[in-house]
Every structure is written in structure tokens, then in C-alpha cells.
Structure 1
């Protein structure tokens, strides 16, 4: 099994879990859709298909979205996450920080495929 199959296969499963966990989010239509797009591109990557323009759009949109959602400092968010003993949202800052981090993860996961696409 190649690296692409393992890497994108694992991330497709993880993004499916992320999408499932977004169902009870205040805006599930947006976040489930975002993770479904990530799943689709992971499945394409699993098959060795890396569409240059669509991947570029996904990475750029996710990076811009992450920057727009990002509030405060990472240390503040991490300390809040460590202090609480459950995953419930205590405030909007935590929700938006998690959403920002999710978009950043998607862009980082798509980056190797994007690099491969642009090298062709």
C-alpha cells in the first residue's frame, strides 16, 4: 500500500468522524459540508487523483477561513481546552477556535496533494 493510500485513507475516516461530530453544531450545514468536501478530496488522493485548480481553491479557502475565524492567541485557547474536563462549548471563542483549527487541518492535509498537482 502506498503512502497516498494510507495517508488519505486515514484522513478520510477522520474527516468523516469530524463531520459526524458537527451534526449537533449550531451551524451543521456549513461544517458538515466542509468536512464532506475534505472527504471527497481525500478519496481522490487515495486514488492518486490531484485536481490542481480545485485543490488550490480548497486550500486557499480553508486558509482564509482559518485566518478569519481565528481569535486571540493559541495559548489562551489551549489552556481553556486543558482546563475543562469535557468537550462542551463554554463560549463562542472556543467554538470559533476549534473551527479555525479544523480549517487549518484540512488545508495542511490537502497540501501534499496540491504540491504534487503543481509539480506535474
Structure 2
């Protein structure tokens, strides 16, 4: 089970790097580079055994707060052409933050369970 989480964290490291890369044409690309870059670094730290529970839970909380701040007033999906482009873009951004928040929460829970099993 330990190896499963290690390999998943390596996969998420690559996915978050890819998510940062595809932000190159976004008007606020530097912000999203930082958001996904921190997520990629945290995933790499988890893989290397350097991420602690507190760091993972703080990151999860920050990403959850970001999800709720960016959530559009009216969620219209993520497909362009199905509604107001601003709502769709905010919906996409908030869902991206939600994915990161959930991954960080899974890391935190895994770290907590791993620490309890050592006691």
C-alpha cells in the first residue's frame, strides 16, 4: 500500500507540472504556475518522504478556501459554449483547486495513518 501512494504521488507530480505548463496562455499564468507548482512540489516531497502531516493539511485547507473563493455565482459547467465564459473559466479554476485540495487531503490522511501505525 505504501508503494501505491508513492507511485500515485509521482503521477500527481507530473500531472500538476502538466497543469502548470498548459497555463501559458492564461492572462494570470504566473499565479497558476505558482498554484500548480506548489502542488507539484508537495507531491514530489510526499514521494520522497519529506512532506509532513501539518504541511499537507495546511495546503489542503488553502486550496479548499481557494475553491470556494473562485466558485462562480452560477456554475455552468466547464465546456465553452454552454454559458457565460467568465463563469465557465471560474468553474474550471475552482475545480482544479478542488482536485489539488483533495489530493493534499489524501496525502495528509495517509501521513496520519502511517504515523499512527508506527506507534
Q: Which runs of 4+ in 1 moved over 2 A?
A: 116-120
1:71 positional shift: 1.4
Length, aligned pairs only: 112
Stretches of structure 2 that go unaligned for 5 or more consecutive residues are: none
Q: Residues 26-58 of structure 1, C-alpha deviation per residue, up to 9 Å, x if partnerless?
A: 111111100000000110111233312221211
Matches for 1:1-120 after TM superposition, within 5 Å = 2-72=3-73, 74=75, 76-78=76-78, 81=79, 91-119=85-113, 120=115
Distance in 2 between residues matched to 1:112 and 1:21, nearest whole Å: 25
TM-score of the aligned structures, taking structure 1 as reference length? 0.82
Q: Which has the higher contact order (CA 8 A, sep 6+)?
A: 1
Stretches of structure 1 that go unaligned for 5 or more consecutive residues are: 85-89
TM-score of the aligned structures, taking structure 2 as reference length? 0.82
**How large is the RMSD of aligned CA atoms in angstroms?**
2.1
